[in-house]
Amino acid sequence: MHSAPSAANGGEARCFEDFQVGERWISEPTVITEEEIIAFARANDPQPMHMDPEAARAGPFGTLIASGWQIAALSMRVFLQAGGYGKTPMVGMGLDELRWTKPVKAGDTLVVEREVIETVRSKSRPGMGMIRTRVTVRNQDGDAVMSLVSLGRVPARAQA
């Protein structure tokens, strides 16, 4: 289900006023491989449960698991690869409510859901607006493995 406007798929830039609360986007399924888990861990989160399959078997999850940071990065990558917000210059302002709720294992198939949950025009910079988005990553069983709320700033049209 890709229900965001066509500009979200790489078209023209969208202004603050073009974003609607409730607008949703769902990614194509993405399979995460053992090789990707290990490569990310070596570069960014070098813990044995993320990069050493043998040590991971003796750990709390009984198998190699992806770093939560890898899943956060993946959620952004698949969105942008699919066209993201098109040519809109979205500036990330921060994350809230980041939760890793289930481990992600090699071979898991992940789907990323994004929903616009709030739009607020900046009072101090009326040429800008803030877009708050809920991001949920689900595995092949439909279980949430990660969730967060992102805040981004986008240009707004001139006010009358």
Kindly state the average pLDDT of the residues 26-52: 97
* pLDDT value at residue 107: 98
Percent of the chain with pLDDT over 90: 78
Confidence of residue 53 (pLDDT cuts 50, 70, 90): very high
| Alpha-carbon distances, residue 94 vs 86, 90, 153 (angstroms) | 20, 12, 10
68-81 vs 34-44: helix crossing angle, rounded to 10: 110
To the nearest 10°, the Cα dihedral for 74, 77, 78, 79?
Answer: 120
* Residue 97 structure tokens: 């409510």
- Dist. CA 8–CA 54, nearest whole Å: 42
For residues 88 and 60, which has the higher predicted lDDT (pLDDT)? 60
* pLDDT value at residue 45: 97
* pLDDT value at residue 82: 82
**Taking a C-beta distance cutoff of 8 angstroms, is the pair 104, 32 a contact?**
yes
Give pLDDT tens digits for 61-118: 999 999 999 999 999 999 888 877 778 878 899 999 999 999 999 999 999 999 999 9
Give pLDDT tens digits for 105-159: 999 999 999 999 999 999 999 899 999 999 999 999 999 999 999 999 999 987 6
Q: Please check the confidence at residue 8 and state whether its pLDDT lies above 80.
A: no
**Taking a C-beta distance cutoff of 8 angstroms, is the pair 51, 38 a contact?**
yes
The string over 50-78, giving b where at least 16 C-beta atoms fall within 10 Å of a residue's C-beta and e elsewhere, is: bbbeeebeeeeeeebbbbbebbbebbeeb
